Amino acid sequence: MAARAGQCGDVARSDGFDIYFSADQLGAVRLAHEVELYAPDTGTLVAWVKVPSLVPQSVLYLHYGDTTLTTDPSTPTAVWSGSYELVMHLDAIADATGKTTSFTTMAANPTAGRIDQARSFDGVTSRIGVGSQAAIDDVFAGGGTAESWFNATSFGEGSFGRFFDKGNGDGWSLFVDNSDATQALGFVHGSGGMGWGQWNAPANSVSLNTWHHVALVYDKDSSANDPVIYIDGASVAVTRFTTPSGTMDSDAAIDLFVGNRSSIDRAFDGQLDEVRLSSVSRSADWISTGYRNQAEPATFFTISAPL
């Protein structure tokens, strides 16, 4: 969403500290928000706002121009509270939930993204190490969700370029797949301590050099469970490539990597943006709404004239 430029418009501060959101016109009921980008020269604003509920014709108010506000009113950790365990906008290597604070980065360079900036992965050595943190360990126990925007230049190393990898075989991984299936997505989760289950989206369900959104919802409490895979906000048919057996493995002692795996031989090739993990099974409506909000904002909301 956009606000008027500071210095040449109604925003009072070039740092945007006078920008905040509320559920009422007077601004008494403020809403938690995070500013990912405010550019005073153009008036461009990219902000994430937590609303109590969302229904057709929901209204929220954007406030600006109060010169008395001299400190940053944003509260990112409040925006991504509850079941969000990792939120990486990838304009910076950081977690907006505040739960993970230490990262290692190899050749994951900033680039234009689907929303503000993303990270470019070279298909050879690029990766972001997130580590093993309580918030992201066993995120699928009882139901969890992994999601990301991606724009793949190729299908990556071995045709299995990783979005996420937390131990292939004994942990889990989510990836583009042009080997076990053609132009598809794959998900692997370890089972029984010596095997794994693998599931694939349909052949030709993703394209290269195009932004797609992927969301995977999975409950690992039983090896009989199948994941649900969403591509661009819609669920797709899932095929079992390998059937798991026994108790699904714990990944609590395994480091998470974005864009590769620990052995640095499954590099993603292209751009990744808005990488997220949640310790809850997001609903179809939640995923569809999130996709539309990010993919087609002009059709998702309208902005009135200033009041």
Q: In the prediction, which pLDDT does 193 show?
A: 73
Q: In the prediction, which pLDDT does 87 show?
A: 98
Residues 6+ apart with CB under 8 A from 233: 213, 287, 288, 290, 291, 292, 295
pLDDT at 143 over 90: yes
- Is the entire prediction scored with pTM above 0.85? yes
Q: What is the pLDDT averaged over residues 189-216?
A: 95
Give the pLDDT band (50/70/90) at residue 9. Answer: low
Q: In the prediction, which pLDDT does 169 show?
A: 78
Residue that has been written with the tokens 């469970």 in this structure: 225
pLDDT at 3 over 80: no
CA 272 to chain centre: 9
Q: What average pLDDT is seen over the chain?
A: 93
Look at domain 84-292 and name its CATH class.
Answer: mainly beta
Which residue has better confidence, 118 or 306? 118
pLDDT in tens, 16-43: 999 999 999 999 999 999 999 999 988 8
Is 106 in contact with 125 (CB distance < 8 Å)? Answer: yes
Which 8-state DSSP code applies to residue 251?
Answer: -
Which residue has better confidence, 300 or 118? 118
Domain boundaries, the chain: 1-74, 84-292
